[in-house]
Structure 1
Amino acid sequence: MDVSSAPFQLDLNQVFPFELDAFQREAIAALDAGKSVVVCAPTGSGKTLIGEYAIIRALKQNEELAAQGGRLCPRRVFYTTPLKALSNQKLRDFRDRFGEQNIGLLTGDVSINRDAPILVMTTEIFRNMLYGTPIGEVGTSLEGVDAVVLDECHYMNDRQRGTVWEESIIYCPREVQLVALSATVANSDQLTDWIDRVHGPTTLIYSDFRPVPLEFYFGSPKGLFPLLNEEKTAVNPRFKKKRGKQPRVRQEPTKISFLVSQLQQRDMLPAIYFIFSRRGCDQAVQEIETLSLVNEAEQAQLKTFIDLFLERNPEAVRASQIEPLYRGIAAHHAGILPAWKVLVEELFQRGLIKVVFATETLAAGINMPARTTVISSLSKRTDRGHRLLTASEFLQMAGRAGRRGMDDRGYVVTVQTPFEGATEAAYLATQGADPLVSQFTPSYGMVLNLLQTHSEEEARDLIERSFGQYLSTLYLRPQQLAIADLEAEVEQQQAQIAHVDAEILNSYEKLHDRIKEERRILKYLQQQAQELQVKDMHAALPFAIAGSILSLKGKYVPVAKPLPAVLVAKAQGGGQLPYFVCLGQDNRWRVVTANDVVGLHAELPRMAQVDHLTVPPELPPKPGQVRSGSEESAAIAQQIPPIPAPTEQAPEVVEQQAKVRELDLELQRHPARQFGNPGHILKRRKQVERLLEELGDRRAKLERHTHRYWQEFVNLMEILRRFGCLDGVVPTELGQIAAAIRGDNELWLGLAMASGELDDLDPHELVTVCAALTTEVSRPDVWTSYQVSARVESALEGLRSTRRQLFKLQHQYQVALPVWMEYDFIPLVEQWALGVEWPELCANTSLDEGDIVRVLRRTLDFMSQLPHVPYLPSSLRDNARRAIALIDRFPVNEGIE
């Protein structure tokens, strides 16, 4: 069935027995018109209803098909989420709403009712389904699918997993409607336009309306106060700093127990209290050990639920938090066992937990409605350093406040810390959302899977349809305009010299350059001749006698042209040459050095008149001393003859002067003169050359940015060829092994599985090696009292040379994909596979329970792939199946019924 040509519509009044908001009606109308939609609205505004409409529509269609006895393919909807926990929660919610028989689940290591009409899955699983089908075609995995809901679509911003959303949208067949549900982002129009281009007709449904408005408060040791001014545009005036220079005072932190008491007194519970560390969440639970937040009836209900859980799941108990849970207080973070987190979520949804201390991951769509959210800090540590929260991070957490149909308003409380106050809080509270950016990054798996079903040209077309490519095109627009301007200017300049014969102009330029060089040589020869002349003169100066005619110009005779003077006397100098006392033609006495004498004119007769002159007694014999002459000296000064012009030049100087004159004459007669002023024409041509150089540079930069993603793809292809995974552009058997694997570095995992190093390992050893290759723990100071077995260590050692080679090639091609080989925690995996009980395992490591489960689940997810990977030895596949059975037990298994 083609949804776009024959949309199936429902009577909304029958489907939803309540009044829909305008944006919800608009989105449903777009779906009924056969379009995809991007629904961008605040958290808690009712976006999920639009995804549910797609589900209801498919189920109603199936009812009609069944009633008609038709043989048409049943209609299906895929509902994707970014997190397994969120998928599990949607499964529970949809079972209650639509019936257990209609809902299935796929999360990689869990498959429940996978042929159901409504299939919940992680977005990554959906992307993986599409890999096996040529782009644009409806393969068996998508047969009968009317719509795919992309919940929490703003996860495209996620640095590690954002690529999955882009691939899902690009690969999804045009016949399938996309329902992208996103929190508010600054560039929702760009996201919609991109989906419209790469997938099909798409409508943006945007709403900034919150059914439950938010009020912002600031918590300090003095109490809770409104954060913003009356207009909600800036910080409350009471928090503004007084004028004048104030000493910087470290702000007192706000105690958690005091703040929670304030919330209880003001009827602002239940609350989600965000703290950006697991330890901080656990410590907060202990800090309010004397406070009870529930009444007797609620306490009785809590006791019933908690005691039943403890009886059924003794190994999932978090002992330090049982007692606080009875008082309505809990923690929720990745270090806690999933089963315990599910209990906390269910109790919170029932209104029995009044405050939950949670890390930021709780803001990612899990349904835990609260009246208040508390944001304990406005900055956090990341793997890129400590930084202020982004506006989107702040809004995502703030948006959890306010329960639709229960609260008339939601409360957002920011807390004073030693480093942050009301000013920073007000800044974030009044900012708009951040834009979505692309995290698109090609991977080995992407390369291999695309090349199995597409040509290189088709793969390139697909890569260049990414959201990152789309944004690059927009952001590079100024560069493209600059290039267009340069091209126009080049064309204009070239038109003005188009009439000039290029060969004649080149000839003129060569001649011009030659004359320039010959003039440089002439200048050098003249300077050389002058230096020789000065050298000869300085050699003769010590023998000069009184009455000799000199030319003066230099440091102590700063004149425009040499001054004629007569030598009257000599004085003791500071070096080998004496100082000279001279009378100048200007009737001034001077004491000069040999460097100030630029000419000794032996051809002029000696002036005997100076024999009767007396040097003025007030003239010190120091260089630079100057005194005016007398009437007697004036008569002699007037008789100093002018300096004669040089009569002879060095032969090489004369020869070079003749050459320059001859070339000058040739230049004047050059045929280039017919085109106008050759000098101006050459300048214009040089300008064109500079413009062309700039144009080429800009084009090269634009090309690099425009095709950046394809170049990354090509680099990965080259590495794959070097390891024998590609024969040209066709995946080899080794390449098909890597293509069938999902992980952070499919090439590394494929090489390891095909290496032979793992073939003879026992199941518990195999799963341990696989854990080392597929997982990493970023927690500091990880320790475990267990030791890894020798056969595991030997297998990992056998893979080291391959790992080094891959590292080297990735560095060469600037590929930043992890090549895991972790040792610190893998003994835990081996011991768990050998049957060690959960409490004992946890007692022998520094890792939190949630971390151990994450490692084991990720390993389990990888192990479940191996039986389906082609060309692996049957023994390896069989051992993978046995290893799965060894580790897939509570609390590692999902525990979803």
Structure 2
Amino acid sequence: MTSPDPGELDRFAAQLPFTLDDFQRRGCQALERGHGVLVCAPTGAGKTVIGEFAVHLALAADRKCFYTTPIKALSNQKHTDLVRRYGPERIGLLTGDVSVNADAPVVVMTTEVLRNMLYANSPALEGLSYVVMDEVHFLADRMRGAVWEEVILHLPEEVRLASLSATVSNAEEFGGWIQTVRGDTTVIVDEERPVPLWQHMLVGRRLFDLFDYDGGARGKKLLVDPELVRHIAHRREADQLADWRPRSPKGRGGHRGRPGLFRPPSRPDVIATLDSEGLLPAITFVFSRVGCDAAVKQCLRSSMRLTTDSERARIAEIIDRRCGDLPDADLPVLGYYEWREGLLRGLAAHHAGMLPIFRHTVEELFTAGLVKAVFATETLALGINMPARTVVLERLVKFNGEQHAPLTPGEYTQLTGRAGRRGIDVEGHAVVIWNPMESSAEPAEVAGLASTRTFPLKSSFAPSYNMTINLVGQMGPAQARDLLERSFAQYQADRSVVGLVRGVERGERLLDEIAAEVGGRDSPVLDYARLRAKISERERAAARSSRLQRRQAAGEALAALRRGDIINVSSGRRGGLAVVLEAARDDEDPRPLVLSEHRWAGRISTADYSGAGAPLGTMSLPKRVEHRQPRVRRDLASALRSAAAGLDVPSARRKRGEPDQHDDPELIALREELRRHPVHAAPDREDRVRAGERYLRVERENAQLRQKIAAATNSLARTFDRIVGILLERGFIAAESAEAADGARTLRVTDDGRLLARIYSESDLLVAECLRTGAWDKLAPAELAAVISAVVFESRGGDGPSTPLFDAPTAGLRRALAGTRRLSGDLRAEENRHRIAPSREIDEGFVATMYRWASTGDLTAALAVADSSSSATRPQPLSAGDFVRWCRQVLDLLDQVRIAAPNAELRAVAKRAITDVRRGVVAVDNT
């Protein structure tokens, strides 16, 4: 590609209402010289100016530019910005379900759309000179990150990339990879925020600086503000004193009846404090959708009002314009009136569970300065252009899908990066609310988060079925492996191998040194040490086997105990005689309820009871034993001792026998070989063997390092080969009878494979199987939409898929679900056999809701179905926003089925299903 006219940057800069920063100018100059560029800069620094210059260059040269973003909301936002500058005839938009002026010279699109174009060899790629990849750090996203790497690897060589990323700590590594796969690429890292950020802590209703900004620093590190530390210490002392005071009657006056114990401020108090300090508008991050909604309700219950009469009038006008197409009948179930009242008072929530049109209205009002306080989940920090003067963090711990974990420095930086509006605020503010019950909210901990800048970019790239079939179809398996080995994932793995190889080399040098001490690598000392190690491992295995057998025997004995049996509890504080009060309820983990001769009552396990021998005897018990009453325990323990007086009771403290290993012939032979070994009788045997054992330890560590190297090297290519194996077995790929000159098989994509190549879904292979086997044939439109929902839906709450829906509304839907369930199970079993991470299970928790909506279009009825099934199949009720989001996911896959289905009847049903789903709230504000 020829270099652009060197005067274009001056022409572009002259049109801007501000002067370019140094990093912006350097990025633009690199593009002007014909280079690609990777720009890493903080949120709000103005990275997109460099992407806009790529648009300018393409238009000036009468060429094409694609501007890609990770999410539809960002694509819509960027499309609006570019239309405002260049006019609607020159700017297009493609987001999967929206297509506007797709043949324009500049098209804004989601990255997935560009990936699909590349695999389809779309004619729209002709004349493409620039691709802007906004928020390119999304390639670390676990679910969708591979798309960015696919695009970077597949784009024609002459296309220049303008990659825009948040600040990452390994920008040079990422830039180095892009240079290897795309050629000349200038890496520009700018860590200066355009608006300075001040860190604070809110203790009660008093706002403190986190750092001693006036008192200097130790080296380059700011110190925590001593006034903040003193104030918190005084609060703790006051609370300790209050803790010693007599509790007030009826528990009034303080936390749990204690009058002086500190409580964090309420949400209205926090907002009022920020308002009095001139720190609104503010975004408060609450790591829960329910928490965001509850925060707005808490503020609405107070007298808080943050807007003027004129602002309220403008807010009402924008709400009416945005929401005018919503059906009146749906407004109550959508929570419209409470949401509207919050906005009129300057308050709002923002999270993925909201109706999209509600969320976008909040974004418009907040950006216009009409909403002053937003309570948001962390998803707001992922690219939406909603900066504030202040960011508030209520907690520094969030649920990561598996457990509650402290925020990382990268997460803290990303969240607080929203503070400070360029061109509006001279400074931004981050406020952490102090809570004495949360150790991560102590000043020193917060200071560590605020002063650490580590946000490494880790690739999540891995071959999928769709990627594999497209690679085989386009370039064959050999070239496909080469391409995978050029991915950022493999680049990072190979760099990690360098350190591992150095470790192996150090280990080999150490082995040479130790071997020299004992007489070389073939020394009898090493042979003797290996023999000892083999005996030790054999003894440990025997002990493990014996323990397992004992546990199994004890478990069977516990499960066999019946009420009234007298037993000997063999170990621990509970050792001695006991009587069984209640037999075990669970044979898998038997825990009978017993009463000991020492008056202890509780359930015992295999850790307490060896099970050796039968019960010692039996005794009669009252029909009902109130074992929690001390008097009953005393009387029953006395009766137990009397009943056992004539029994042969072994000592409760008798030590358990060790496993008898004398009958293990291999162990006997090894010990005999050890005694005959010449080193065994040497006078300095132990000193020499200690060196030998050190040698073996280093040898084991080296072997582990070599295993890690083998796992990292060509790991993606191995996964690719396993996926090819499954696709061959299932007939999506076929092997030609003739072999290539180098002995490799020639593979071709079959008709079924071409079907799979057009399915872009996390469950791509399952969808292809359902289509080609006819599992979804002969369905009504609502039935097809419902069964497809089982493939895309995922229950919230971390408890896995919903219970299978065996009582689906129609016979056709029950048949289709059963077929999909069976195919999914078969596929997962085959993936396990091929050692491939199993595909996710289908989730039928949205099926009944989807069927009701597609059948009736009645939102109230559809959400009522969702609520009625939430307790049985889903841990949390479905919000209106989630309902719309899942409907749009169903629409996306229905559209793929409409194009890819192998028979005309199913394609027609999919088309009618799209019409039935895309209506009402699902069709409104479809962005």
TM range (shorter): 0.7 to 0.9
In the alignment, is residue 9 of structure 1 matched against residue 8 of structure 2? yes
Name the CA shift for 1:696/1:258 in 2 (closer, same or farther; >3 Å): closer
Name the CA shift for 1:797/1:8 in 2 (closer, same or farther; >3 Å): farther
Aligned counterparts of 2:442 and 2:703: Cα–Cα separation in 1: 51
Name the CA shift for 1:24/1:320 in 2 (closer, same or farther; >3 Å): same
Report Cα offsets for 1:72-94 as digits up to 9, x if no partner. Answer: xxx11111111111112222222
Q: How far did residue 698 of structure 1 move?
A: 4.8
Name the CA shift for 1:842/1:786 in 2 (closer, same or farther; >3 Å): farther
203, 206, 211: which is aligned to 1:223?
206
- Give the 3-state SS of the residue equivalent to 1:180 in structure 2: strand
Q: How far did residue 832 of structure 1 move?
A: 1.5
Describe how 1:196-211 pairs up with structure 2 within 5 A.
196-211=179-194
Query: In the alignment, residue 281 of structure 2 is paired with which amino acid?
Result: P
Name the CA shift for 1:452/1:401 in 2 (closer, same or farther; >3 Å): same
Query: In the alignment, residue 281 of structure 1 is paired with which amino acid?
Result: C
Q: How far did residue 253 of structure 1 move?
A: 2.4
In the alignment, is residue 92 of structure 1 matched against residue 80 of structure 2? yes
Describe how 1:446-845 pairs up with structure 2 within 5 A.
446-484=467-505, 698-728=705-735, 729-779=747-797, 788-845=809-866
Aligned counterparts of 1:875 and 1:863: Cα–Cα separation in 2: 14
Farther off after superposition, 95-104 or 209-218: 95-104
| Alpha-carbon contact 1:788-1:826 (below 8 Å) kept | no
Q: Which sections of structure 1, spanning at least 5 residues, go unmatched?
A: 63-74, 134-138, 517-659, 664-683
Q: How far did residue 691 of structure 1 move?
A: 9.9
294, 299, 321: which is aligned to 1:283?
294
In the alignment, is residue 183 of structure 1 matched against residue 182 of structure 2? no
Aligned counterparts of 2:512 and 2:299: Cα–Cα separation in 1: 76
Q: How far did residue 7 of structure 1 move?
A: 7.7
Aligned counterparts of 1:235 and 1:385: Cα–Cα separation in 2: 30
| Alpha-carbon contact 2:828-2:838 (below 8 Å) kept | no
In the alignment, is residue 262 of structure 1 matched against residue 255 of structure 2? no
Query: In the alignment, residue 912 of structure 2 is paired with which amino acid?
Result: R
Name the CA shift for 1:760/1:191 in 2 (closer, same or farther; >3 Å): same
Q: How far did residue 792 of structure 1 move?
A: 0.6
| Alpha-carbon contact 1:744-1:817 (below 8 Å) kept | no
Describe how 1:392-407 pairs up with structure 2 within 5 A.
392-407=410-425
Q: How far did residue 323 of structure 1 move?
A: 0.9
Query: In the alignment, residue 407 of structure 2 is paired with which amino acid?
Result: L
Aligned to 1:434: 455
Query: In the alignment, residue 738 of structure 1 is paired with which amino acid?
Result: L
In the alignment, is residue 252 of structure 1 matched against residue 263 of structure 2? yes
| Alpha-carbon contact 1:37-1:178 (below 8 Å) kept | yes
Aligned to 1:669: none
Query: In the alignment, residue 319 of structure 1 is paired with which amino acid?
Result: Y
Report Cα offsets for 1:364-392 as digits up to 9, x if no partner. Answer: 11111211111221110121211011212
- Give the 3-state SS of the residue equivalent to 2:728 in structure 1: helix
168, 175, 179: which is aligned to 1:192?
175
In the alignment, is residue 883 of structure 1 matched against residue 866 of structure 2? no
Farther off after superposition, 853-862 or 788-797: 788-797
Decide which structure has the larger Cα Rg and report it: 1
In the alignment, is residue 852 of structure 1 matched against residue 863 of structure 2? no
Aligned to 2:114: 126
- Give the 3-state SS of the residue equivalent to 2:856 in structure 1: coil
- Give the 3-state SS of the residue equivalent to 1:730 in structure 2: strand
Name the CA shift for 1:32/1:433 in 2 (closer, same or farther; >3 Å): same
Name the CA shift for 1:478/1:819 in 2 (closer, same or farther; >3 Å): closer
Q: How far did residue 818 of structure 1 move?
A: 3.2
Query: Runs in 1 of length 4+ with deviation above 4 angstroms?
Result: 3-8, 245-251, 314-317, 483-495, 684-700, 779-787
In the alignment, is residue 51 of structure 1 matched against residue 51 of structure 2? yes
In the alignment, is residue 892 of structure 1 matched against residue 918 of structure 2? no
Q: How far did residue 893 of structure 1 move?
A: 3.0
Aligned counterparts of 2:915 and 2:807: Cα–Cα separation in 1: 22
Aligned to 2:318: 305
Q: How far did residue 404 of structure 1 move?
A: 0.9
In the alignment, is residue 294 of structure 1 matched against residue 307 of structure 2? yes
Report Cα offsets for 1:664-701 as digits up to 9, x if no partner. Answer: xxxxxxxxxxxxxxxxxxxx999999999987775454
Q: How far did residue 48 of structure 1 move?
A: 0.9
Q: Percent identity?
A: 38
In the alignment, is residue 28 of structure 1 matched against residue 41 of structure 2? no
Q: How far did residue 101 of structure 1 move?
A: 1.5
Aligned counterparts of 1:35 and 1:251: Cα–Cα separation in 2: 58
Name the CA shift for 1:493/1:778 in 2 (closer, same or farther; >3 Å): closer
Name the CA shift for 1:458/1:691 in 2 (closer, same or farther; >3 Å): farther
Aligned to 2:616: none
Q: Which sections of structure 2, spanning at least 5 residues, go unmatched?
A: 244-260, 532-675, 679-690, 736-746, 867-876
- Give the 3-state SS of the residue equivalent to 2:38 in structure 1: strand
Query: In the alignment, residue 478 of structure 2 is paired with which amino acid?
Result: E
Name the CA shift for 1:124/1:214 in 2 (closer, same or farther; >3 Å): same
Aligned counterparts of 1:13 and 1:91: Cα–Cα separation in 2: 20
| Alpha-carbon contact 2:402-2:798 (below 8 Å) kept | no
In the alignment, is residue 174 of structure 1 matched against residue 157 of structure 2? yes
| Alpha-carbon contact 2:36-2:186 (below 8 Å) kept | yes
| Alpha-carbon contact 1:3-1:175 (below 8 Å) kept | no
Q: How far did residue 785 of structure 1 move?
A: 15
Name the CA shift for 1:687/1:269 in 2 (closer, same or farther; >3 Å): closer
Name the CA shift for 1:788/1:216 in 2 (closer, same or farther; >3 Å): farther
| Alpha-carbon contact 1:123-1:165 (below 8 Å) kept | yes
Aligned counterparts of 1:758 and 1:8: Cα–Cα separation in 2: 59
Q: How far did residue 128 of structure 1 move?
A: 1.9
421, 428, 443: which is aligned to 2:441?
421
| Alpha-carbon contact 1:773-1:819 (below 8 Å) kept | no
Aligned counterparts of 2:427 and 2:22: Cα–Cα separation in 1: 20
Name the CA shift for 1:262/1:492 in 2 (closer, same or farther; >3 Å): closer
- Give the 3-state SS of the residue equivalent to 1:276 in structure 2: coil
Name the CA shift for 1:13/1:716 in 2 (closer, same or farther; >3 Å): closer
Farther off after superposition, 722-731 or 469-478: 722-731
In the alignment, is residue 866 of structure 1 matched against residue 897 of structure 2? yes
**CA-based RMSD:** 3.6
Q: How far did residue 215 of structure 1 move?
A: 0.8
- Give the 3-state SS of the residue equivalent to 2:310 in structure 1: helix
In the alignment, is residue 106 of structure 1 matched against residue 106 of structure 2? no
Aligned counterparts of 1:252 and 1:298: Cα–Cα separation in 2: 34
Query: In the alignment, residue 306 of structure 1 is paired with which amino acid?
Result: I
Q: How far did residue 188 of structure 1 move?
A: 0.5
Name the CA shift for 1:458/1:321 in 2 (closer, same or farther; >3 Å): same
- Give the 3-state SS of the residue equivalent to 2:920 in structure 1: coil
101, 112, 115: which is aligned to 2:103?
115
Q: How far did residue 861 of structure 1 move?
A: 0.3
Query: In the alignment, residue 193 of structure 1 is paired with which amino acid?
Result: G
Farther off after superposition, 370-379 or 312-321: 312-321
Aligned to 1:627: none
| Alpha-carbon contact 2:388-2:419 (below 8 Å) kept | yes
Name the CA shift for 1:459/1:251 in 2 (closer, same or farther; >3 Å): farther
Q: How far did residue 489 of structure 1 move?
A: 9.2
In the alignment, is residue 233 of structure 1 matched against residue 247 of structure 2? no
- Give the 3-state SS of the residue equivalent to 1:39 in structure 2: strand
Aligned to 2:661: none
Name the CA shift for 1:242/1:849 in 2 (closer, same or farther; >3 Å): closer
Aligned counterparts of 2:818 and 2:25: Cα–Cα separation in 1: 61
| Count of residue correspondences | 703
Report Cα offsets for 1:280-299 as digits up to 9, x if no partner. Answer: 11111111112000122212
- Give the 3-state SS of the residue equivalent to 2:459 in structure 1: coil
- Give the 3-state SS of the residue equivalent to 1:330 in structure 2: strand
